[in-house]
Structure 1
Amino acid sequence: MDIILVPGLWLDGHTWDDVATPLAEAGHHVRALTLPGMESRDADRSGVTLDDHVAAVVSAIDEADGPVLLVGHSVGSGIAHVALDRRPDRVARAVHVGGFPATDGQPLLSGLPAEDGEVPMPDWVEMGEEANIVDFDEARLARFYADAIPVPEPVITTPVRLSDERRYAVPVTAVCPEYTAADLRSWVESGEESLSELARIQSVEYVDLPGGHWPQVTQPARLAEVILEAARAG
């Protein structure tokens, strides 16, 4: 199967390396994307938009030889969902790791401060979100912050546009890292607005992967096995 890996905010495609290797060894064709402007901290991000990020994922889907397993991490799940909306007939299953499908008419994320048109990674302890980094040791966390790439502000502030309701027929695996599958189910059932898309998807499998928000970095082997199981499910 063709497996496309979409990174979350502040990350490039290399953050998937330790996940991509066992997927390829299992016989899959794996492509870990680095989205436009996210090549390095020094890359030119001026003028990069949400459409540019979505177009990069759509292009990868179009270049795949067969059905695609589309994997997104965090806000990358929202970007992947917009791309899926553009190509619902090409995606066999979506996997959302610590993230959710984007909601029509809403931005991917709001409330984070921008600097000169870019949004740097915040300090998660200062944000009161220590659960995100619970499985980092001090040295690894310092490297993680140092490597984080600022995100072009329009990527996360531009309202999402969705148009093809065939997207709801594409099955989803929702991977739950710093929250539990039971938590996510309860949020969906309570009508949480940010999860309105997930609530409308016809087939959702909820999978616990206890730890922090970045399992591709902190527990890649376990995440790879979850993705392999999703590929087997097709």
Structure 2
Amino acid sequence: MTTTTSSPTIILIAGHWLGAWAWDEVIEHLKTDHSRAIAMTLPGLDGDDPERAAKTLDDQAAAVLNVFARLGVSEDEPAIIVAHSGANAPVSLVLDRHPELVHRVVWVDSGPVATGSVFAPDLPEDLEELPLPPFDVLAQQASLEGLSAEVLERFRVRAVPEPGPVLRQPVELTSDARRKVPTTLVCCSLPSAQVLELARAGHAMFAEVANIEHLDVIDLPTGHWPMWSRPRDLAQAIQSAASRTN
């Protein structure tokens, strides 16, 4: 993996129901550190797109690569990708198809997926999109620790339903080179020791972590949305990962 002398561009991608807006506070802190950071909204999560419910994981991966092209990302000047939660599927595709363009991937309460993974295999074929569920239901799937009533209200108001095709599409990976990309896990709702233990045990959600060749971990104890519960600390964790040379 090519190492650059200048600071790589940091591209932040949020998970399900979220757009670039989810990173606003983190971006502000990264600017204080003089990092070149941008956030992007994946296809299907732009509420103004009338065709968004038909978007696929392939569309999302292509959009990330289009952002790379627009920013001048290359093998000589690779980017850092910060992927939160459900952004792991399209980012895993990007790593599989063009690992040479990624200086480091930072998974935020997330991690790489294995080939054949499907986020919601039982989702009915006729369901076009999945809205943000009630918070009592969501809390059974992901920790809401650290989120105030005001933050939850903003989440509810700004959330965009997740496209059904994104949730049903299997992730097809073909290149082991993706596992050579330097990787940082920012562990929030589960401590890193538990994540690594689950990876070694072959747990389906974490098994791919065991195959990463260059891995480091950062513990940031909080809920599943640290960009809202601990934005300054998350920015520092991202900057720390970005400054690593391997």
Name the TM-score, length of structure 1 as normaliser. Answer: 0.91
Contact kept in structure 2, 1:37 and 1:43, CA below 8 Å: no
**Contact map agreement 2:53 2:164 (CA 8 A) in 1:** no
Following the alignment from structure 2 to structure 1, what is the Cα–Cα distance between the partners of residues 71 and 12? 13
Hey, what does 1:193 align to over in structure 2? 204
Size of the alignment, in residue pairs?
A: 234
Unaligned runs of 5+ in 2: 1-7
Task: Call closer, same or farther: CA 1:110–1:59 in 2, change over 3 Å.
Answer: same
Match of 1:146 among 130, 154, 157: 157
TM-score (norm 2): 0.87
SS of the equivalent of 2:179 reads: helix
1:17 aligns with 2:21: no
Are residues 1:67 and 2:67 paired?
A: no
Q: Which range moved further: 19-28 or 112-121?
A: 112-121
Q: Is residue 186–residue 218 contact of structure 2 (8 Å, CA) maintained in 1?
A: yes
Write out per-residue CA displacement over residues 61-85 of structure 1, whole angstroms, 9 at most, x where no aligned residue.
2333322111100011232121111
Matched, 1:30 2:37: yes
Alignment RMSD: 2.1
CA shift for structure 1 position 27: 2.8
Q: Unmatched 5+ residue regions in structure 1?
A: none
8 Å CA contact retained: 1:174, 1:207: yes
Task: Say whether the 8 Å CA contact 1:41–1:148 is kept in structure 2.
Answer: no
Seen in structure 2, the aligned counterparts of structure 1 residues 22 and 114 have a Cα distance that, compared at 3 Å, is: farther
Q: How does 1:1-234 map to 2 (within 5 A)?
A: 1-40=8-47, 43-65=50-72, 66-110=77-121, 116-127=127-138, 129=140, 132-234=143-245
Question: Which whole-Å deviations, capped at 9, do the CAs of 1:143-169 have from their partners, x for residues lacking one?
Answer: 312221101011121000112211111
CA deviations on 1:5-50 (whole Å, 9 max, x unpaired) are 1110000001111111222332332221111131227753232111
SS in 2 for 1:194: coil
Q: CA deviation at 1:133?
A: 0.8
* Cα distance in 2 for residues equivalent to 1:193 and 1:165: 18
Distance 1:3 1:170 in 2: 15
Q: Which moved more, 1:219-228 or 1:12-21?
A: 12-21
Counterpart contact for 1:36–1:48, Cα < 8 Å: yes
